């Protein structure tokens, strides 16, 4: 069954979070940009491992992946035995997701939907996952509310931390936009604000994971998994990761 379509309000369709990912070239190149090379492959493995831990035991669970994009998280969960519905506003990203799922022999339900108004009944899935969405969404608190509404048990989200190297990149992108440039001017977020948003819907944070201290772009430029593990391991050992790590993944439970 394909989930129904929920379009974005007409006044918001010009926002980059809708237009950027609707581009055919962006969709085709997304996996190569995000998950190629040793660091990209490491990111993908780490993402999948975290989701499997957060939603264990995964087999037999009904999971909603909001902002599924090219379906990488959804595919990993489906491989582990979950029944997965993937929603995204971009038809182009979903087209790539269908291709990826077909290539590995995984069955996914995929449909077009806006994260601010999910076409899903209350508490109709065991868990809802939404990765790299809140940082781009027009109203991230509304998105959190929708994830909490549809999930019976747990919600998993991630976001770039307010106190991190990502904050510097975010500030630079916002400045470029104000000067007339075009870029994804994503937001950075405080963990306490995210926890407060979940608490407003009857959820509490039960797991927090921080990924890197140094920017992911820098690790990719160096291109050495050994260097990444060594440097980040050293920073974690002295407590810097706990203070400045980003992105932050949180697991909230009803």
Looking at per-residue pLDDT, the higher value among 50 and 18 belongs to: 50
CB 67 within 8 A of CB 41: no
Domain membership of residue 5 (yes or no) is no
Region 175-182: mean pLDDT is: 75
Domain range for 54 is 10-158+188-210
Region 21-33: mean pLDDT is: 88
Domain membership of residue 4 (yes or no) is no
Per-residue pLDDT reduced to its tens digit, 72-131: 999 999 999 999 999 999 999 999 999 999 999 999 999 999 999 999 999 999 999 999
CB 61 within 8 A of CB 51: no
- The Cα 188–Cα 186 span in angstroms is 7
Query: C-alpha distances in angstroms, 45 versus 36, 55, 128, 166, 187?
Result: 12, 16, 19, 21, 25
Domain membership of residue 250 (yes or no) is no
Domain membership of residue 181 (yes or no) is no
Domain membership of residue 253 (yes or no) is no
Domain membership of residue 244 (yes or no) is no
pLDDT score of 2: 47
pTM value > 0.75: yes
- What are the structure tokens assigned to 240, written together? 């810097």
Domain membership of residue 165 (yes or no) is no
pLDDT score of 9: 54
pLDDT score of 1: 41
Domain membership of residue 21 (yes or no) is yes
CATH code of the domain in which 202 resides:
3.40.50.150
Number of domains in the chain: 1
> Going by C-beta distance under 8 Å and a sequence separation of 6 or more, which residues neighbour residue 5?
111, 112, 113, 119
């Amino acid at each position: 069954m394909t989930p129904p379509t929920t379009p974005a309000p007409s006044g918001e369709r010009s926002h980059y979070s809708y237009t950027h990912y609707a581009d055919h070239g962006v969709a085709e190149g997304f996996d190569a940009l995000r998950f190629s090379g040793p660091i990209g492959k490491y990111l993908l493995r780490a993402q999948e491992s975290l989701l499997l831990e957060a939603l264990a035991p995964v087999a037999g669970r009904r999971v909603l992946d909001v902002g599924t994009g090219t379906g990488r998280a959804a595919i990993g969960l489906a491989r582990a035995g979950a029944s997965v519905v993937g929603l995204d506003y971009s038809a182009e990203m979903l087209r790539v997701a269908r291709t990826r799922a077909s290539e590995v022999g995984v069955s996914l339900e995929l449909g077009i939907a806006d994260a601010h108004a999910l076409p899903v009944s209350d508490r109709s899935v065991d868990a809802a996952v939404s990765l790299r969405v809140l940082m781009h969404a027009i109203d991230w608190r509304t998105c959190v509310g929708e994830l909490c509404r549809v999930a019976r048990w747990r919600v998993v989200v991630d976001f770039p931390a307010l106190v991190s190297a990502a904050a510097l990149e975010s500030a630079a992108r916002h400045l470029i936009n104000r000067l007339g440039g075009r870029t994804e001017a994503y937001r950075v977020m405080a963990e306490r604000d995210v926890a407060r948003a979940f608490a407003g819907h009857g959820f509490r944070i039960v797991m927090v994971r921080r990924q890197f201290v140094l920017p992911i772009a820098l690790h990719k430029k160096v291109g050495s998994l050994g260097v990444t593990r060594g440097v980040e391991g050293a920073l974690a050992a002295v407590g810097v990761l706990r203070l400045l790590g980003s992105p932050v993944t949180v697991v909230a439970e009803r």
